[in-house]
Amino acid sequence: MANHQYQLVLEFVESKGESDDCRELLDLLEAAFEDQPEVLVDGYDSGGGYFNLFIHTNIPLETLEVAKKMLDRERPGVAFRSGYRDFDLDDYVPVHPPGLTQFNLR
């Protein structure tokens, strides 16, 4: 198992029945990164009207691109926000959507 430097978070608005959708998205991400030791799909958290998918990675921007392609294929048009942080730091770098200036877990 690789030591991962970054945590990438994909954040979605939660709606009724979303827990099944969240689990399905998590499964799709796990399949997308199955053969990539530099990426570990860690799990999810939900509450407050949002759910977050957590990915440990050494290549956050490349990991996000793979995740976006999967989402475009499996959930066309789904809206989400994303940011990543170094595990040694608290602040996230906002990365999606373009122009996002701040990212915090909600």
**What pLDDT, in 10s, does the model give residues 61-80?**
999 999 999 999 998 998 99
- pLDDT at position 22: 82
2 confidence band (pLDDT: 50, 70, 90): low
Average of per-residue pLDDT across 88-92:
96
Confidence tier at 15 by pLDDT (50, 70, 90): confident
CATH topology of domain 6-96: Alpha-Beta Plaits (3.30.70)
Q: What is the pLDDT of residue 21?
A: 77
Peptide bond into 97 cis (omega under 30): yes
| Domain spans, the chain | 6-96
